[in-house]
Structure 1
């Protein structure tokens, strides 16, 4: 299996690089800007044909949630039109696609973990463009699936864990929102899950065309809980103070509740999902070794 990983220098792409060696039957092509741009359809077609790509894990995305409000055209080019380019390119070679999406496709007004079949209602540009990307996969004539995830972090890139660690070492106190609930997700766990799904599908010949799956670590937390755990596990002496969303205004609205129900992905692919604090401890241990 020749696997193209787009957006390979981001959090998830970097974590896939770290675990790739464990999947001996896969041949990986790790690509990111400027070497390969999913917004350039002809460039994509040429690369996929030349390298006999039969599978893509799309980690490329415009993920600056607040900046997307002022850069809607660029966000749509990457999160919507770019995904459609991938779908069209893979349709020509009858290829597979795993596309990564987000909890931001929901409005967060619920109080039960979101199931894949629940109605989407994105509140901002980021969520709307990511939903457009989902629809490109769902409606495309390819063997493609969407995996929605939430609160992604890793030892790579810029994310909440690394920001809290830095600020916690610089300040005595930090204000963190406590009235938004979700689940932190270690990108390393998601990376393994993507490759395990491909391995499982290869062995069982399963075709999950057009399916949506939810993946995050297990459990529920607020950003406040998340920050407290980062300080505790990282042995950082910084007081974390709970505040309400209204006390920390942002350009884009965030879902107040975005916990994902993961029964479907566990059942279909026989996947075990770690608890969020256990995975956070692993990431912090990795960061401490740097």
Structure 2
């Protein structure tokens, strides 16, 4: 199974590169300058030249706050570019898997969101990702859209790495406690994508495998409790830790509004694909152990 991964530096792309071999697959990462989602004119040629059995769009404009002042670029990458990828996949007669986000919801529901719940993005980023979902569904019948949330990993910039970095210099950190969701390891997302890819190729006529699904870590928490668990695990391993001071979203204003409820109901993915991501606490422990070990290696060099 040869998977074309759009994106080279993102958390999901790098996780797919790491996890593919364990699934008997080959992940070929394609990104700038060969493929630039902000310049749709070169996308088709780059994908056809690379060739593969499945295309995974793991690239996106993810600067949530910056998107508020840069809507054209966010929409070009997350909306128009995603549609061109899906159209190319259809022309190549291969499935396309597109990664989306909980930010398509406004966060006002009192339960985990299902795939058929109404969407209502609070900001430019969420709106641009919703455009991408709509474009992918319109351009390729053989598609899977996977909404996920609160992504972290040993790679790139993310909440776990930020908390550990800040804890090295501070004894206490104020962290929002009134936003709820499921921390999700990008390595777990990669495993899920690879499982979904295998299903799509082995059961090409099974329509239940296609469409929109939610995929996030099992269990829910808030940002403050997430941070506290990071510091507990880190301190246990001799890494940095800090006290967490719970604060309200109103106490930490940002250019873009965040959903108060980012919980996703992943039942449909389990029933159709047999994919269930691990409990967030277990995957977080694996990630923190790796980050602490990597930090020690850097110091000893």
Give the TM-score normalised by structure 1: 0.96
Counterpart CA distance in 2 for 1:226 and 1:100 is 23
Matched, 1:252 2:251: no
Counterpart CA distance in 2 for 1:43 and 1:102 is 25
Deviations 1:106-143 (A, max 9, x none): 00001110000000000100000000000011222331
Structure 2 SS opposite 1:3: strand
Aligned pairs, how many?
A: 289
Structure 1 SS opposite 2:121: coil
Asked if the contact 1:108/1:257 (under 8 Å) is kept, the reply is yes
Asked if the contact 1:105/1:128 (under 8 Å) is kept, the reply is yes
Counterpart CA distance in 1 for 2:98 and 2:67 is 20
Matches within 5 A, 1:187-202: 187-202=186-201
Counterpart CA distance in 2 for 1:40 and 1:88 is 15
Report the counterpart of residue 43 of structure 1 in structure 2: 42
Asked if the contact 1:143/1:209 (under 8 Å) is kept, the reply is no
Asked if the contact 1:153/1:186 (under 8 Å) is kept, the reply is yes
Query: Structure 2 unaligned runs (5+)?
Result: 295-301
Asked if the contact 1:185/1:217 (under 8 Å) is kept, the reply is yes
- Change beyond 3 A, Cα 1:216–1:251: same
Asked if the contact 2:189/2:277 (under 8 Å) is kept, the reply is no
Counterpart CA distance in 1 for 2:182 and 2:195 is 21
Structure 1 SS opposite 2:168: helix
Asked if the contact 1:266/1:272 (under 8 Å) is kept, the reply is yes
Structure 2 SS opposite 1:229: helix
Asked if the contact 1:10/1:59 (under 8 Å) is kept, the reply is yes
Report the counterpart of residue 93 of structure 2 in structure 1: 94
Over aligned residue pairs, what C-alpha RMSD do you find? 1.4
Asked if the contact 2:95/2:200 (under 8 Å) is kept, the reply is no
Counterpart CA distance in 2 for 1:223 and 1:36 is 35
Pairwise CA distance, 1:220: 0.9
Asked if the contact 1:144/1:208 (under 8 Å) is kept, the reply is no
Pairwise CA distance, 1:64: 0.4
Asked if the contact 1:90/1:142 (under 8 Å) is kept, the reply is no
Matches within 5 A, 1:65-214: 65-205=64-204, 206-207=206-207, 211-214=211-214
Asked if the contact 2:175/2:223 (under 8 Å) is kept, the reply is yes
Deviations 1:28-85 (A, max 9, x none): 3211222321343342222222233342110110000000000001100100010011
Asked if the contact 1:139/1:210 (under 8 Å) is kept, the reply is no
Query: Structure 1 unaligned runs (5+)?
Result: none
Report the counterpart of residue 14 of structure 2 in structure 1: 14
Asked if the contact 2:96/2:140 (under 8 Å) is kept, the reply is no
- Change beyond 3 A, Cα 1:40–1:169: same
